[in-house]
Structure 1
Amino acid sequence: MPETRTPDKSAIRHAATVIVLRDRETHPKILMGQRGARAAFMPNKFVFPGGAVDAGDAKVPLAGALPALCATRLAEDARAATPHALAVAAIRELWEETGLVLGASGAWPDDVPDDWQGFAARGYLPSAAGLQFVFRALTPPGRPRRFDARFFLVDAEDIANDPDDFSAASDELSHLQWVSLRDARAFDMPFITEVVLSEIQARATDKAPPASIPFFKNNDEESLFLRLRGVPMSG
């Protein structure tokens, strides 16, 4: 019989997280939800929608590509993850966890993957044109799950459906709500979410993609706070 391998829970998985920003020029708010008490990763914490990249994400078509500057920043020190797959994962996780559609009207060119059936049934193809890559963080060693997470910012105006309608959301996040940036720190959230919030607050009214991206890199030897400027990894 072939050897059965137990999944390596310590392996680092690529992940994408989406920060939806609303009313950015008046009273900025962000969309957050609470993870379940039994969740293996960050139980009970308030977080942004997001999750791991799936193998099929690289094959999902996009109606609109990522901004070129964001794609360049994503490619730096990226190893196996492609900007396309990361963008698709961000859109998919936003859809699954909130029911919000980041997409453009259109028909799928091929068979629709199972994860995208509900999305496609509404007449949309995913679009990454409104995503901005704004932050990257690597989960420190010793955690039950480790992720190399890319954080994307998107304006609520780019959401194709009603931003207050969470009826199609899965049960992975509860208490989905729009939280004022000013009041967000009163919620019980992970440390890295607080760090990302500071970055969002600093650029809440700036709609241009950032020139460089903060990278909180925790490896087995040390923790580094770097800036990504779009230099591809050699080798």
Structure 2
Amino acid sequence: MGQRGASAAFMPSKYVFPGGAVDTTDADVPLATPLDPLAARMLQAAPGPHALAIAAIRELWEETGLALGQPGPWPSPVPEGWEGFAARGLCPSAEGLRFVFRAITPPGRPRRFDARFFLADAAQVAGDAADFSAACDELSHLHWIALTEVRRLDLPFITEVVLSEVSLLLGGGDQPGVPFFDNSGTTPTFRRITDV
């Protein structure tokens, strides 16, 4: 996790997961290993599963310097923003990326997002998972933190909800579908996305 800047318009000073928007070019970036078919089926809405997986891998790379990738050549030219990733001889890989939560920001917030949250094992990181030296400066105080200690940080509400779901999953309490906290309408709803 990392801390957002005190002057940020959205969630200032909060500790958050790395993340951000899908870029228009994300759908064109190749994956060395595709997203799990079950996750892909549950992510069919626009912008689509491939673009969402690439965006998650790219944002993790940009904000932490951690690469979810496998050795391999890139087609030429390397897309903008991926030069450092490719320079390490890596292609992005969605192997082990698990879709665990979706949330739409409530109305009245400075910024609204339709966010998908992914979980990956740190063993999937190519290289040293404790080396944040290639990170941009969007997040400060980057560090790994135990789930038992994370609630000591200043977290946004939705991050606490996602962490509760992750704790449940890691404890073996698998539920059907992916939780979806939906604030797109006038009444907030909580439901599950299922593979139907």
TM-score, normalised by the number of residues in structure 1: 0.81
SS of the equivalent of 1:225 reads strand
Q: Could you tell me how far apart the structure 2 residues matched to 1:229 and 1:220 are?
A: 20
1:178 Cα deviation (Å)? 1.1
TM-score, normalised by the number of residues in structure 2: 0.96
| Residue 98 (str. 1) matches residue 67 (str. 2) | no
SS of the equivalent of 1:50 reads coil
Give the letter aligned to residue 69 of structure 1: L
1:205 Cα deviation (Å)? 4.6
| Residue 150 (str. 1) matches residue 116 (str. 2) | yes
In the other structure, the counterpart of 2:34 is 65
Unmatched 5+ residue regions in structure 2?
none
Return 219-228 or 191-200, whichever deviates more.
219-228
In the other structure, the counterpart of 2:15 is 46
Q: Could you tell me how far apart the structure 2 residues matched to 1:205 and 1:59 are?
A: 36
In the other structure, the counterpart of 2:187 is 222
| Percent of pairs with identical residues | 64
Give the letter aligned to residue 95 of structure 1: W
Q: Could you tell me how far apart the structure 1 residues matched to 2:176 and 2:39 are?
A: 9
Give the letter aligned to residue 41 of structure 1: F
In the other structure, the counterpart of 1:82 is 48
1:183 Cα deviation (Å)? 1.0
User: CA offsets per residue over residues 110-162 of structure 1, 9 Å max, x none?
Assistant: 21112000000000000011100000000011111111000000000111110
- Contact 2:96 2:121 (C-alpha < 8 Å) held by counterparts: yes
Runs of 4+ in 1 over 3 A off after TM superposition: none
- How many residues end up aligned between the 2 structures? 196
1:83-232 matches, cutoff 5 A: 83-206=49-172, 211-231=176-196
Q: Could you tell me how far apart the structure 2 residues matched to 1:217 and 1:223 are?
A: 6
Give the letter aligned to residue 39 of structure 1: A
1:211 Cα deviation (Å)? 4.0
- Structure number, greater radius of gyration: 1
SS of the equivalent of 1:103 reads strand
Unmatched 5+ residue regions in structure 1?
1-31
- Contact 2:103 2:181 (C-alpha < 8 Å) held by counterparts: yes
SS of the equivalent of 1:125 reads strand
1:84 Cα deviation (Å)? 0.2
- Contact 1:74 1:230 (C-alpha < 8 Å) held by counterparts: no
In the other structure, the counterpart of 1:11 is none
Q: Bigger relative contact order, structure 1 or 2, given CA contacts below 8 A and separation 6+?
A: 1
